[in-house]
């Protein structure tokens, strides 16, 4: 395993979300802990449900966020670990089997069994991550590191995460146009889990649900390994749209109302509670009963949690989630959402905030920054020399992505 920590190294995470662009820069200390030295945020333009729809607009948003982070940190940022999400993400579990060539298992045998597990053909997708769950040596399961063990037959159980190569290429292109090298592309809910989950939760089994603006991303852990990944194309944007329609107001006003008065559980509203909403096109302001707002918000969040529950049930891993659900992302901050999730999912629920960080921790300890802090943690623990060079023509980006993803397979197995 490569030495994961290099004291003084600056690592930057770039969360390219539907609602906002977040950049977090951190210094890796000698003990492996991260000291946050700067962060930047800008409204997201040119993205829809995690997918780039306008290169120029997205580049401008990324540039603004990076410039703010550079101003606060005092360091120049030219390399980032970029997050990827969207409805194109797909996870599946695979097995690989090989015969051991010598008397004991070597690194070469591990690489061969990994490649055997990765042997699948999806014309419109490419493998983003290959995450090891366990090895099996001559029928003995639960092996985490088989190197040096005697055996004749080596099996590997892995979780493969697939994504659209076009979406990945567009993210890299946006970063290149903003003057950034992409050191790696990382699945956003995977990054969020690194920031907010405790080791005992991963061991016992839990669901990490990151509710963003355009999507709700989920990963399920069992025995400290990811066993299920899915993306639901619903998030905070849909709640805002529902409020705008239900209260007959603009999306901008609906967003303000959601942030100031939104409650995810109707029974938390006291009788007679009201708020004022701005009139449209010169009309007078209106007084709205908070119960009406809560009905709209609860209905949409209930739908999201019911769909997630159905997905968990289909996966078959629900009974293994002894630690329950960890909610993170900006939408998890709404009062009552965690209680509604617990009611629908029939599991204990807590709000996940970034942990084990120093420096500007008070500013980035919100669930809003879970993904960007997780990207930094990923970069600190996976020091792989696999930068996506911004030199050359855009048409070379596809080749760069595929080549670097292949090079990174060993690092993923070392880390997990």
The per-residue DSSP string of 215-280 comes to -EEEEEEETTEEEEEEEES--HHHHHHHHHHHTT--HHHHHHHHHHH-BS-GGGPPTT-EEEEPPS
CA distances from 161 to 117, 126, 189, 355 (A): 12, 9, 11, 25
Kindly list the domain boundaries of the chain, sorted by start residue: 90-163, 198-351
Question: Per-residue pLDDT for 67 more than 70?
Answer: yes
Asked whether the whole model's pTM tops 0.85, one would answer: yes
Q: What is the pLDDT of residues 141-196, one digit of tens each?
A: 989 999 999 999 999 999 999 999 899 999 999 999 999 999 999 999 999 999 99
DSSP string, 129-191: EEEEEEEEETTEEEES--TT-B-SEEEEEEEEEEEEHHHHHHHHHHHHHTT-EEEEEEEHHHH
Provide mean pLDDT across the span 101-118: 92
Query: How confident is the model at residue 355, as a pLDDT?
Result: 85
Question: Cβ(30)–Cβ(5) under 8 Å?
Answer: yes
**Measured on CA atoms in the order 377, 380, 384, 385, is the torsion positive or negative?**
positive
Residue 109 has pLDDT above 90, yes or no: yes
Q: Is the pLDDT of residue 398 over 50?
A: no
CATH of domain 198-351: 3.30.420.40
The CA distance from 153 to 141, in Å, is: 12
List of residues 6+ apart from 296 with CB closer than 8 A:
239, 242, 243, 246, 247
Of 279, 278, 242, the C-alpha closest to 258 is 242
Tokens of 83: 């997050």
Q: What is the pLDDT of residues 321-377, one digit of tens each?
A: 999 999 999 899 999 999 999 999 999 999 999 988 887 667 778 899 999 999 999
> Span 201-229, mean pLDDT?
95
pLDDT in tens, 269-324: 998 999 999 988 878 889 999 999 999 999 999 999 999 999 999 999 999 999 99
DSSP 9: -
The sheet with strand 90-99 has its strands ordered as 90-99, 153-164, 125-137, 140-143
**Burial class (CB within 10 angstroms; exposed 0-12, middle 13-18, buried 19+) of 256:** middle
Q: Which fold has domain 90-163?
A: Dna Ligase; domain 1 (3.30.1490)
pLDDT at 387 over 80: no
């Amino acid at each position: 395993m490569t030495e994961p920590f290099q004291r003084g190294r600056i690592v930057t995470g770039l969360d390219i979300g539907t609602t906002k662009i977040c950049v977090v820069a951190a210094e890796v200390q000698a003990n492996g802990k991260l000291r946050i030295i700067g962060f930047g945020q800008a409204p997201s333009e040119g993205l829809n449900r995690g997918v780039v729809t306008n290169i120029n607009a997205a580049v401008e948003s990324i540039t603004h966020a990076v410039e703010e982070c550079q101003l606060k940190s005092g360091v120049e940022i030219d390399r980032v670990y970029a997050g990827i999400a969207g409805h194109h993400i797909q996870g599946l579990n695979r097995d690989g089997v090989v015969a051991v060539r010598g008397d004991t298992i070597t690194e070469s045998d591990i690489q061969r069994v990994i490649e055997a597990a990765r042997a699948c053909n999806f014309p419109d997708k490419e493998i983003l991550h290959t995450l090891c769950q366990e090895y099996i040596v001559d029928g003995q399961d639960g092996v985490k590191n088989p190197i040096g063990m005697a055996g004749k037959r080596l099996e590997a159980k892995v979780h493969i995460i697939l994504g659209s190569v076009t979406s990945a290429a567009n993210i890299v292109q946006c970063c290149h146009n903003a003057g950034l090298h992409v050191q790696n592309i990382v699945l956003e809910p995977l990054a969020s889990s690194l920031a907010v989950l405790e080791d005992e939760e991963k061991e016992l089994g839990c669901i990490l649900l990151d509710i963003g603006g355009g999507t709700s991303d989920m990963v399920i852990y069992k025995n400290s390994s990811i066993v299920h990944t899915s993306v639901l194309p619903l998030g905070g944007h849909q709640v805002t749209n529902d409020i705008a329609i239900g209260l007959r107001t603009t999306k901008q006003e609906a967003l303000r109302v959601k942030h100031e008065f939104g409650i995810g559980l109707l029974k938390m509203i006291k009788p007679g509670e009201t708020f004022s909403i701005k009139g449209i096109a010169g009309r007078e302001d209106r007084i709205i009963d908070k119960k009406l707002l809560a009905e709209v918000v609860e209905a949409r969040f209930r739908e999201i949690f019911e769909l997630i529950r159905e997905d968990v049930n289909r996966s078959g891993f629900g009974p293994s989630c002894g630690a329950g659900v960890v909610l993170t992302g900006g939408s998890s901050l709404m009062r009552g959402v965690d209680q509604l999730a617990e009611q629908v999912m029939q599991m204990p629920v807590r709000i996940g905030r970034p942990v084990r960080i120093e420096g500007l921790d008070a500013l980035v300890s919100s669930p809003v920054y879970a993904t960007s802090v997780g990207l930094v943690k990923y970069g600190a623990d996976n020091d792989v020399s696999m930068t996506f060079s911004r030199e050359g023509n855009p048409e070379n980006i596809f080749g760069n992505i595929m080549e670097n993803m292949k090079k990174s397979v060993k690092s993923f197995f070392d880390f997990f």
